[in-house]
Chains A and B, each alone.
Chain A
Amino acid sequence: MQEFLEFTLGGIATGMIYAAIALSLVLIWRGTRILNYSQGGMAMFTTYVAWLVIQHTGSYWAGFAVALAAGLVLGSVLEFAVVRPTENKAPLNAVIVTIGLLILLEGLAGIIYGGQYRSFPAAFSIKGLKAGSVGLGISPNDVFTAAAVLGAAVILALVFRYTSVGLRLRATAFAPAVARLLGVRIGRVLTLGWALAGLFGALAGVLVTSSTFLYPNSMDSIFVLGFTAAVIGGLDSPVGAVVGGIVLGVVLSYAGGYLGSNLVLVYGLAALVLVLMIRPTGLFSSGVTRRV
C-alpha cells in the first residue's frame, strides 16, 4: 500500500514534466498544425543557459528566470526566422525544418558546452517527504516541480480564457484565415504561440534536469514521453495535455515500480502505440476532423 502511494505521487510529479512538454507541443500544434520536433532540443538549450548562469552567479533562481526568458526568446526567434518561411508550403517542409533545428541545437550545445554529463541543481531538497513515518515517494523539489507546471498551466488557461490576446490565440487555432479577415495579425499570434511553447519547454527542461543529467541529448527521451502525453490528451487540448502528462507519469511510475524500471521508455512508447491504435484523436480532442 505504501509502495502504491509512493508510485502514485512520484508518478504525478514526473507526469507534470511530461505535461509541460506536452503543453508546449499543443501550443504550437493548435496554431500552426506543426509538430515541433525541436521542442526537446530547445528545452535542452535553455537549460544549458540556466546552467551557465548558475555557474556564474551561484543563484539557482537567476538561472531559472533566465531559462524561462531564453525559452520565450528562442521560441519567438525560431518561429520568425526559421518556421515562418515554411508557411503555405507542403506540411512536410515544416516537419523537416523542426527536425533540422533539433539536430542543429544539439550540435551547437555539443560544440559550445561539450558532450560530458553535467549535474544540474534542484530548487529544493530532494530528500523524500514523510507523512509521520510513512514515506511519500516525493521530495520538496517534486512538489515544487508539480506546483510550478500547474501554476504556469493555470496562468496560461486564464490568459486563453480572459484576455483578448488569448481570444486571438484561440480563434487563430480554429480558423486562421477567418481570423486574419477579422483583422488578427496571424503572424504575431503564431510567434506568441511559439514563444509560450519555448517558455513551457524551458520550464520542463530546468525542472527535469535536476533529476537526470545535462548533456546535448538529455531531453530526447523526455520529449518522446511529452509527445506521448500530448497525443493521449489529443494534441489539440491544453487541458488534455496536462491530464495526459499526469496519466502517463502515473502509468509509467506503476510500470517502472512493479515491472522494473529499466524499460520505462519502452513502456512509454507502448502507451503511445496503444493510444494511437485505440483512440488516435486522443482522450480530450474535440473529435472534429479537420482538413489538413
Chain B
Amino acid sequence: MNDGSLEIRDVTVQFGGLTALDGVSLAARPRQITGIIGPNGAGKTTLLNTACGFVKPQSGMVSFDGQVLTGLRTHRLAALGIARTLQGVGLFPGLTVAENVMIGATPSAKAGVWSALFGLPRSDRDERRLREQAMAALERLGVADQANELPGTLSYGLRKRVALARALAARPRLVLLDEPASGLPENELPELGDLIRDMAAEAGVVVIEHRMDLVMSVCDTIFVLDFGKLIAHGSPAEVQADPAVTAAYLGADGEPGPPAEGEPGPTAEGEPGPAAGGPANLAPDAPADGQADA
C-alpha cells in the first residue's frame, strides 16, 4: 500500500534450527501507534530488525509505503523516511547533543565531500539547515537547553529524549521504537507516552515495549508474539481480555512469571557504552533470547 503503511506479510525467520518468527503478519498504519509485545525471546526485536531490513526472512515480505524493505541496505532506511531507535540510548559519546541530532538530520544534506572540504557556500548552508532542524527536534522534546553538552553529562531520561529527538530530526514517516521506556523511572512514563502520541501526529509509530502500563495507554493496536508466533492482536482492551495472552505471560504451566509489569529494571537494560548499536546491538538477538526462554 502506498499510504505510508508498514506491511509485514507471512514472515518466517530462522537462525540455524531455531525459528525466531513463524509466519508473522502485521500492518502498522500511518498516524497510528502499533505496539508489539510478548515475553522475553518471543521474537520482538527480530521482528523489528526484519521490519527495517536488517534481517532477511526465509520467507515472507516486508514493505513500507509500497516499497519492499527485505534485504535493504541499512543507510537507505533514513532516506525512505524510516527512523529506528535502539535499545538503550546509542548516542555518539564524543559529539554534543546538537551534533548527535544533526547526524539524524543528515539524510537530506546535499553538500558533497568536496564542497565541504573546500568550504563552498552550499556546505555552509547545509550545516546551518542541519543545525536548525536539529534544534527544532530538540525543542520539541524539551532538551534544547542541553544542545551544547555531551551526552555523558546528561541524566538517562534526558539522553533518551535526545535519542528520540535524533530519530525525529529527519521528519520520518515511520518511527520504530525499540523499548523506549527501558531504564526510565515510573514517573517519567506518562511524559514518554505523551511524546509518543505526539510523534504519531505525523508518522506511523511501531513500539516494542515491556512496560505494559505504557503500551496499554498509548497503543491503538497491539500485536502479541509468543515463541515467534502471533498469538493475538487487537485494541489494548481486546488483548488484555484474551486468555491466550494471559497464558503466554503467566506461562501455560502456571509458572509465576512476571505479568503485566514485567519490567526487568534499569540495570538489566543498562546503558550500552560507546559501542551502543555496534554490530552486536543490531544483530538478531532472538536466538539467544529464545534459548534462554526455552
Contact = CB atoms under 8 A, between A and B. Distances in A.
Interface of A: 159, 162-168, 170-171, 173-186, 188, 192, 286, 288, 290-291
Interface in B65-98: 74-79, 84, 86, 90, 92-95
B148 interface: no
Nearest to A72: B117
A8 to B, nearest CB: 33
B109 A181 contact: no
A183 B116 contact: no
A286 B92 CA distance: 13
A182 B94 contact: no
B166 interface: yes
Contacts of A182: 78, 103-104, 106-107, 166, 170
Nearest to B169: A182
A194 B83 CA distance: 29
B116 to A, nearest CB: 4
Contacts of B107: 182-183
B78 to A, nearest CB: 3
A182 B86 CA distance: 11
B223 to A, nearest CB: 23
- Listed residue (B95, B127, B275, B280) with the most chain A CB atoms within 10 angstroms of its CB: B275
Given A175-B278, A182-B106, 14 more contacts: A159-B116, A163-B116, A167-B95, A167-B103, A171-B95, A174-B92, A177-B278, A178-B90, A181-B84, A183-B75, A183-B76, A183-B78, A185-B75, A288-B93
Given A175-B90, A181-B77, A167 B123 contact: no
A184 B75 contact: yes
B92 to A, nearest CB: 4
5 contacts: A163-B119, A164-B123, A165-B117, A171-B92, A192-B113
Contacts of A185: 75
B209 interface: no
B94 A164 contact: no
- Listed residue (A165, A176, A182) with the most chain B CB atoms within 10 angstroms of its CB: A182
B130 interface: yes
Given A181-B74, A182-B78, A164 B102 contact: yes
Given A171-B95, A188-B113, A178 B106 contact: no
A163 B79 CA distance: 20
Contacts of A165: 111, 113, 116-117, 123
B281 interface: yes
Interface in B253-289: 273-282
Chain B contact surface mostly: helix
Contacts of A168: 103, 106
Contact of B116 (A166, A176, A181): A166
Contacts of B220: none
B107 to A, nearest CB: 4
Interface in B116-130: 116-117, 119, 123, 126-127, 130
Nearest to B84: A181
Nearest to B280: A291
B99 interface: yes
A159 B117 contact: yes
A192 B117 CA distance: 10
Contacts of A183: 75-79, 106-107, 170
Contacts of A176: 278
Contact of B127 (A164, A171, A174, A178): A164
Interface string B169-194: 01000000000000000000000000
A177 B275 CA distance: 9
A167 B102 contact: yes
A175 B113 contact: no
B274 A178 contact: no
Contacts of A288: 93, 273-274
Contacts of B278: 175-177, 291
B87 to A, nearest CB: 12
A159 B111 CA distance: 13
Nearest to B129: A164
A167 B123 CA distance: 12
Contacts of A167: 95, 99, 102-103, 106, 130
Given A180-B74, A183-B170, A175 B109 contact: no
A159 B115 CA distance: 11
A177 B279 contact: yes
B94 A174 contact: yes
A189 to B, nearest CB: 9
A36 to B, nearest CB: 20
B92 A164 contact: no
Contacts of B117: 159, 163, 165
A179 B280 CA distance: 15
A284 B121 CA distance: 33
A175 B277 contact: yes
A180 B103 CA distance: 10
Contacts of B95: 167, 170-171, 174
A171 to B, nearest CB: 5
- Listed residue (A165, A180, A181) with the most chain B CB atoms within 10 angstroms of its CB: A181
A290 B274 CA distance: 7
- Listed residue (B79, B170, B278) with the most chain A CB atoms within 10 angstroms of its CB: B278
Contacts of A177: 277-279, 281-282
